[in-house]
Amino acid sequence: MKKLIYVILAMLLLACGKEQKETSFAIASASWDEIIKQGQNQSVNLMMWTGDTKINAYMNSYIRPLVKEKYNIDLTISSGQGNTIVQILMAELQANKTESDLDMVWINGETFYQLQQIKGLYGPWTSKLPNAEFIDFDNKFIGMDFQQPIAGYELPWGNVQMTIIYNSEKVKTPPMTREALYKFAKENPGKFTWDNHFTGLTFLKALLIDIAGGNGSLNGDFDEKKYQKYSSELWSYLTTLKPYLWKNGETFPEAVAPMHQLFASGELWFTMSNNDAEVDNKIAEGIFPETTRAYVPKYGTIQNSHYMGISKMSINKAAAMVVANEMISAEAQLKKQDPSVWGDGTVLDTKKLPSLLKAKFNNQPNRKYAPKRSEITQRALQEINPEYMIRLAEDFRKYMIK
């Protein structure tokens, strides 16, 4: 027993005596060469969603070796997405920690909004990166995140558009409008639904924008009057659709992964994805049948970007910036966009690239089953203020799940 007490006391002492690393480097005024010098031979902890084998393979077999070889940076990837990241950084801030366990985080609008609420991100920093000059910041789908200017606090990494995935063997003519969707669901009850998480809410946002008058109609700050007006119409439409949804609309798949599973097993004829290239990935992995196709209905779907942020209390900001710079290099973005690697859309303005790289982007192999990017972009909707999503999530429980 005495030994056990000594071990516990020793562990407590060790935990208290963590060595303080050098944090005095003035990164805000440092040149890029100084940042590289400071960042090399360090380690970076990146927290990201690790639920896709292709994304994991890209990170583990391309980005990690790349930064290790060029800068001797040890990139550690830990698993966690939006809410986990917010919880960790909130807990650190509440505990008055001075050093974060997280250096980099993979986020998008909803998490960006929450992290800005708790002031958990470092910035502005993206203009320091040499490769950022090729980023298409003027693109409203890249430079704005959920109607919030990114303002140098997050670095665009990839751009995707939501698609609705269907089994073409069962669905000959996919519904292109709200009315057509209602008619289809009534004729084929139990085959359509959406998930009770981010992807499902993104679908609801597209319907809300459609009801409000189309793309741009809900741009800007959250507008209570507009929300009340258009959301009541949305819930009215969805409650008429409800009896014809999967399980009579009394319950919804908890996340997009179970919905994919229901689609793969044939229980559903539709699923959804926030990555417009996912249909190619899933067919290649043998998860979806080869008759699977993806489309964007006439009312459009949300296009958004995903980003890299650096935590405010990271003690490896320089190393994190060096890694981030490599992640947006033309070569890394080109590889990431390859449908056989990941198929994630680039955030670079390819017109700004040197001709050789531009040609490589233009000659990249096309997707086989997913619709062409150039076609679906015409129906791309801008993300709306995060407050709309919070309200939709609350009202979804109130009006649909009861």
Q: What are the residues binding another protein (CB under 8 A)?
A: 1-2, 4-5, 8, 83-84, 86-87, 90, 93-94, 110, 114, 117-118, 190, 196, 201, 247, 250-252, 254, 258, 262, 265-267, 386, 389-390, 393-394, 397, 401-402
Nearer residue to another protein within complex by CB, 64 or 191: 191
Q: Is 223 exposed, middle or buried (0-12, 13-18, 19+ CB in 10 A)?
A: middle
Report in angstroms how near the CB of residue 218 gets to another protein at its nearest: 17
Nearer to another protein, 127 or 239 (CB): 239
Shortest CB 127 distance to another protein, Å = 28
For residues 253 and 164, give the distance between their C-alpha atoms in angstroms, rounded to a whole number: 15
Report the distance separating Cα 72 and Cα 80, nearest Å.
25
Identify which of residues 47 and 389 has a Cβ nearer to another protein in the complex. Answer: 389
- Least separation in angstroms between residue 170's CB and another protein is 12
Which residue number, 261 or 364, has a Cβ lying nearer to another protein?
261
How many other C-beta atoms can be found within 10 angstroms of the C-beta atom of residue 299?
18
Shortest Cβ 87–another protein spacing (Å): 7
| Least spacing, CB of residue 201 vs another protein, in Å | 8
CA distance 192 to 171: 11
Considering the complex, what minimum distance in angstroms separates the CB of residue 224 from another protein?
A: 16
Other C-beta atoms closer than 10 Å to the C-beta of 140 total: 15
Work out the number of other CB atoms within 10 angstroms of the CB of residue 338: 14
To another protein, the closest distance from the beta carbon of 86 in angstroms equals: 7
Which residue lies nearer to another protein by CB, 81 or 126? 81
Q: Which residue lies nearer to another protein by CB, 179 or 250?
A: 250
Closest CA to 114 of 311, 386, 320, 384: 386
Neighbours of 220 (CB within 10 A): 11
Task: Tell me which residue of 158, 149, 113 sits closest to 303, measured CA to CA.
Answer: 158
- The values of phi and psi at residue 61, to 5°, are -105, -5
- Select 100 or 337, whichever has its Cβ closest to another protein: 100
Place of tokens 């819930």: 235
Please report, for residues 113, 140, 380, the alpha-carbon distance to residue 173 in angstroms, rounded to integers and kept in the order given.
Answer: 38, 32, 21
